[in-house]
Structure 1
Amino acid sequence: MDEEYKDQTSPPRTRYKVYKYLTVALLFIVVFFSLGLIGVETTSSSSFCSSCHEMKPEFYTWKASTHSEVECVKCHIGSGTEEYAKAKANGLMQLYKKATQTYTAPIRMPKEIPDSACESCHDVSKREVTASGDIIIPHDKHKNKDIECIQCHNGIAHGKIADRKMTFQNDYEKWDSKTGTSAMGDFKFTRPDMDTCIDCHKARKVTTECSACHTTGMVPKSHKKADFKTKTHGKQAAENLKKCNQCHSDMSKEPLVGYDDLSVIESFLNNDQVQAKQKNHYNYAKENTFCADCHNKRPTSHDSNFYNNHGAIANKNQASCQACHEVKKSSASSRNQVTCSSCHPSKHSQKTSWKETHPISLEGVTKPSAKCYTCHAKVSCEKCHK
């Protein structure tokens, strides 16, 4: 037996202990990595995001969105090991902020969703027309101009709830599936609207013509009637100017203020006194450059005899004249340089008749005479007094 033991490096009991420790160590390593893999998989699931009550608004809006079948990590973590490692490290930092209550509310993404995340599912080169069948959106052209997906589709998964101030600390407990569905129910927060397109087109000096984006031209039936321009469009504007403004505001080359809510009264200074002026369709005709294209043209009714008859016509409906003309040139709202004050000075329109304050008696005088021209310039007077 002694000879047999001489050939061994250690006694059997010692070797047994070594094997035992190696087995335990190997088992520990296997369990550690298994738990690690399970942990990584668990923390990468969308349901894990909702385990933090700070993420309840984002979780329940995502559940109600069109992207509810796409895991959060597909969009919020970039591809590659490096991006994945950064995301996990950031997760530990967020865990620390949660424990110490040092996070910032409302919670916002540290960076925008990259196009690569969208393109892992969507082929933008083949997306030309939206589901409505009317709107033309050539995604490839936008891509070629370096317009990122998120610039138009930033509310697709969460309905812009941070911008809507719905993610503060006292709101977390209010969130559930019903709240998420309600928050995502209004398309103006989840889909790009026309204002998004128009603002971008104007900034980039791209056409804003209806036909550039709509296959139908978007012309209402009422606008196709033969007498629409000559007889009815002014009446329709008077009845529902806010509806007109929904489309025609985007056609103006200059911004329009005060027409989104016509109950708002515009205040302006005049002779150091604050006065109120209600915006109406006559103001709109002068301020919207789209309308001015027609309203600055001389109407057919303004023929050679119009000058002699315009006073009587104006007295019947003076307000209609203001669709093109100003009473006096007091603002830049009208491009038409012909104003009432061009021929009718304000001193002629005072409550006290100018004839009463005239230094020379004008009793019985009904028209200019040679006596008038001893003081006044005949050429100037005859521009109006003929």
Structure 2
Amino acid sequence: MAFWGKNKNKETNPESREERKKTGIIKRLWQKVRNIDWKDPVTRWKLMFISLITLIVVGAGGYGAIALTNSPAFCSSCHEMAPEYSTFTASAHNNITCVQCHIKPGAINMLTHKMKSMKEVYYHVTGVPKQIVQTEDEAVSDENCLQCHSKNRLVTPSGDLKVNHKGHLEEGVPCISCHAGVVHAKMAARGINTDEVRGEYTKEKAEKIMEKKYLSPNMGSCIDCHDKVNKGEKPWKDVAYLVPPNPEEMEKKLEENTKKVSDKTELTEPAANQSEEAGIAEHYEQTQKLILQAIGKQQKNVKISMACETCHKSTAIPKNHQTANWNNNHGGTAVVKLDQCMECHQDSKWKRDIPKEDIVSILKLGNEKKKYTPNYALAKEESRINKFCSACHTDRPDSHVDSDQWLTAHAGKAKTADQKVQCFVCHDQEKPKSDSTHAKAPTDVYCQYCHRTGFKNDVKTN
């Protein structure tokens, strides 16, 4: 401890080499500290000087480490973050840092997050997860969004939606319930950021992934949430409702469920299949009810309306929909402008869950909109499998009156080729095929069941 001055007791209390060996290094240091004259003003000045230098070094080092780990460049240094980083650079938020969204404002939150992030270093060294997903305790908070965005905003980028942002926030609905894909295009939910495709990502390739339907709020999310509110629920209270499911946790649950099923009798499997079929049927029926409500055919006991004009301004009722008898005469328009019809009436628009995708196919095909060529077979198939179309197509048309009367009177309604085409939307000409490659008609009644000799000037249905 020469810095503190010569030990005055050294001559009076000499230590032999053997005695120093017996005393541990920690004990010897402690003895020297105890021997320091803390009442000496020079000693206290030296202590303050060393403390100040230490504080500066530690502070500067800590600030430098935090600044380094806060930069997007640091995030990109790990190969497993390639999908997230490349989509970030291709997004409208590429002028801010990752932490401005992923860490709540405040020094305490910053330090706490850095401590928690040590597990990411552990995963990086020992084994990266198959898929990077946002965990429930790390969901982007409203505090982060409101650093830049106002909750009093009255307009949306599309110019069509009319959303009461303030009302949603005051009700406790988080921003990410609608805007989860604004930066990373919902990669985790789409399943396109797994370990086997991380090498495929660059900024240029990420631009092909940033499709508008994944960046903008998903209509299915709005519908699902509004439907639950009408049932008295507040689904956003559960954070798991807001973040994509962790695939590894899902695998564990699947293994546990499989084990439970295998431990039971063989009769459990048919019961499970029946339960699954019942669940699908219930979901289908619920979707149909929502669609009927949206087109104004079902408005009972509704707190939040599902009608289009509730959330949309310009697309409430398109001009061509306002023509006389549109419900019965829209088939021709559907064939010619099917791509425009699907902008609103596509099944995926009504679903909250996003289907899994193949990254190779996306990169190969890109997100360029292909020009649609009028295709009757495609329009007919869509009318049969699309839930919005089938909401009405599964009902018996008013023109068909009673079956016994219609059976002998329908010939006059199917004289021309155009009239026959309308029939073939719901009916097949030949006996329907049982394989899964053909869309099932709303009815199993087909023409050749009675007209076995065929027709004059047959109209091809595909």
Q: TM class, shorter-chain normalised?
A: 0.5 to 0.7
SS of equivalent to 1:162: helix
Kindly indicate which of the two structures has a greater share of residues assigned to helix: 2
Task: Output the TM-score relative to the length of structure 1.
Answer: 0.60
1:220 counterpart (318, 325, 337): 318
CA 1:29–1:290: 2 relative to 1, 3 Å: same
Report the equivalent of 1:210. Answer: 308
Aligned to 1:150: 176
Name the amino acid aligned to 1:216.
S
* Residue 78 (structure 2) pairs with residue 52 (structure 1): yes
Q: Distance in 1 between matches of 2:103 and 2:337?
A: 49
Output aligned runs, 1:166-315, within 5 Å.
166-184=192-210, 186-205=211-230, 206-226=304-324, 228=326, 232-237=329-334, 243-244=340-341, 246-248=343-345, 279=381, 281=383, 288-290=390-392, 296-297=397-398, 310=409, 312-313=411-412
Q: Indicate how the Cα distance of structure 1 residues 155 and 10 shifts in structure 2: closer, same or farther if over 3 A, else same.
A: same
C-alpha distance after superposition, 1:37-67 (max 9, x if no partner): 2222222223222222222322222222222
Write the deviation string for residues 141-184 of structure 1: whole angstroms up to 9, x where unpaired: 32244321111111112122223333333444443332343433
- CA drift at 1:296: 4.7
Q: Is the 8 A contact 1:62 1:158 kept in 2?
A: yes
For residues 193-223 of structure 1, what are the alpha-carbon distances to aligned partners after superposition, in whole Å with 9 as ceiling and x for unaligned? 3333334334444322222122224433433
Q: Helix, strand or coil: the match of 1:198?
A: helix
Aligned to 2:153: 127
AA of the residue aligned to 2:146: E
**Gap runs ≥5 in structure 1:** 1-7, 255-260, 265-277, 352-386
Cα deviation 1:12-39 (Å, max 9, x = unaligned): xx99x97998666764553233222222
Distance 1:285 1:46 in 2: 43
SS in structure 2 at match of 1:157: coil
The 1:325/1:167 distance shift into structure 2, 3 A limit, reads closer
Shift of 1:122: 1.7
Q: Distance in 2 between matches of 1:155 and 1:281?
A: 30
Hey, what's the Cα distance between the residues in 2 that align with 1:94 and 1:39? 16
Following TM superposition, by how much is the alpha carbon of 1:136 offset from its aligned partner in structure 2, in angstroms?
A: 0.9
Identical columns (%): 28
Please state if 1:114 is matched with 2:141. Answer: yes
Does the CA-based 8 Å contact 1:153-1:191 persist in structure 2? Answer: yes
Give 1:72's match in structure 2, choosing from 98, 101, 108.
Answer: 98
Aligned pair count?
A: 304
Q: Distance in 1 between matches of 2:65 and 2:178?
A: 35
Q: Kindly indicate whether residue 36 of structure 2 is the aligned counterpart of residue 36 of structure 1.
A: no
Q: Which amino acid aligns with 1:93?
A: K
Q: Is the 8 A contact 1:282 1:320 kept in 2?
A: no
Distance in 1 of aligned mates of 2:101 and 2:407: 73
Distance 1:178 1:223, change over 3 A: same
CA contact (8 A) 2:426 2:441 kept: no
Specify which structure has the bigger relative contact order, considering alpha-carbon pairs within 8 angstroms and separated by 6 or more residues: 2
CA RMSD, Structure 1 to Structure 2 (Å): 4.9
> Whose Rg is larger?
1
| Structure-1 separation of matches of 2:445 and 2:66 | 78
CA distance in 2, matches of 1:322, 1:170: 45
Normalised to the residue count of structure 2, the TM-score between the two structures is: 0.52
Matched, 1:92 2:121: no
- The residue that corresponds to 2:20 in the other structure is none
Q: Which amino acid aligns with 1:164?
A: R
Residue deviations 1:207-242 (CA, integer Å, cap 9, x gap): 222221222244334334446556x42333455656
In the alignment, is the contact (CA less than 8 A) between 2:154 and 2:164 conserved in 1? yes
